[in-house]
Structure 1
């Protein structure tokens, strides 16, 4: 897999490429061959990181009430938006999965792409910490953030 090409798309270079491979590897692949590392746990962590970063960005944009922040965050972090961001960088071209998901194109669906994007954010966090993960989330969401204020 060409990790350099993908790293250029997200604006981040991994020190540990195995973290990126884990983030791109769907749990479904474990049904075909034994795997210790797949994206499932990273999806949970990445989701939490995205929530924190989006809250911070929304507050810095001037949102003050819980209702305002919650509403905008819910819009930005939904599966459809995450999938749009993932598709904008052809994320499905890099997802590692099993033949079953490939034959049915499940890995190209909103959920699979959104989960993979979350896992990538967690991989960045695991690689070099929160500051780098925050930079990438900010970069990836910049256009969507602009759209919420126009």
Structure 2
């Protein structure tokens, strides 16, 4: 990944990575990584980061919704489900205009899955993990995630 691409992504995230590898890994799909490994190039993918990012995102959203006045478990659960849906997370990522930097496998590119909400949502989750791992701070991650949501039309009701 080119340095200017990393700089453009960081500008959209309003976050500068100390460890650029966290960002690159978050943008790397498993198929791309496997193709690189087959060519003898070490490459990590976003798969485990998506799991961590999903868990962190759930905690941030619950905390945010309670702070915003959701008074019942049902209200929190309903709104959290809407916000964390792959479709909504995909819209948040699209608003950042960084989907062209997702590293897809050749087959994925041919299938045109780079703009599918599931791919975008998974990548958003991986980015949450990357920010968390790089900053070593839940609070910093929470601040950035809330900012990203507030900058998108997908979260206009917040």
Tell me if both proteins adopt one fold, taking TM over 0.5 as the criterion.
yes
2:36 touches 2:43 (CA, 8 Å); kept in 1? Answer: no
2:141 equivalent to 1:133: yes
CA distance in 1, matches of 2:100, 2:155: 25
CA distance in 2, matches of 1:22, 1:78: 22
2:12 touches 2:97 (CA, 8 Å); kept in 1? Answer: no
Structure 2 gaps of 5+ residues are none
TM-score by length of 2: 0.88
Structure 1 gaps of 5+ residues are none
Aligned length, in residue pairs = 148
1:43 touches 1:122 (CA, 8 Å); kept in 2? Answer: yes
TM-score by length of 1: 0.93
Deviation readout 1:4-51 (Å, 9 max, x if unpaired): 111111111111001000000001113312145110000011111111
Superposition misfits of 4+ residues, deviation over 6 angstroms: none
What secondary structure sits across from 2:16 in the alignment? coil
What secondary structure sits across from 2:69 in the alignment? coil
1:91 touches 1:113 (CA, 8 Å); kept in 2? Answer: no
> How far is the alpha carbon of 1:107 from its aligned partner?
2.1
What's the RMSD between the two structures over aligned residues?
A: 1.4
